[in-house]
Structure 1
Amino acid sequence: MNRIEKLEALLRENGDDGFLNHALALEYVKAGDDGKAAALFKSILEKDPDYVGSYYHLGKLQERCGDEPGAIAVYKKGMEIAQKLGEQHAYNELRAACEYLEF
């Protein structure tokens, strides 16, 4: 059983677990399945907009797929959430990624 299969099995027991969903999305990225990864990151953020780590990874995925305006929007939303939560490290990472695209 590979990592994706293991995570999918765990999610059948606890489908709303943000950490497991995020881990699965990252595995989809590694496997080159950007469509599944993007859908999962978006689903995570719809269910839990405060899951700040998913903003960075969704933005990077959109950036890699050529959707720079979409990536910038995701980074900015993530910065807003990170600032609200007092997550300075996440805020700085999102800001750096956003500034790279804007300049």
Structure 2
Amino acid sequence: MSYPITHPDRGVARQVLAEAPELMLVSVRFEAGATGALHSHPHVQSSYCVSGRFRFLLNGEEHDLRAGDSLLIPGGAEHGCHCLETGELIDSFTPRRDDFL
């Protein structure tokens, strides 16, 4: 199944790659300077950096990611990111983010 590309924020393109009630895989492409606003959700999230450079804020702590790095975000944790160099993240969520469908 092919899912549409959405643009949740300026300079951000998101596409669901696969989903089931227990798990969701999402590609998120960022232009340099784009931001994923601070937010939280009950889902456990894992972010894998495919390309580019990102600075994540997770519960008040900064984490820099480059290609090949990953970050685990517990459910309920406040987090967001700033794209330092154009790139792509692959995010997985458990359970599925129904709000993305």
Q: Could you state the TM-score of these two structures normalised by the residue count of structure 1?
A: 0.26
Q: Could you state the TM-score of these two structures normalised by the residue count of structure 2?
A: 0.26
Larger helix percent: 1
Greater RCO (CA < 8 Å, at least 6 residues apart): 2
Instruction: Give the structure with higher Rg (CA).
Output: 1
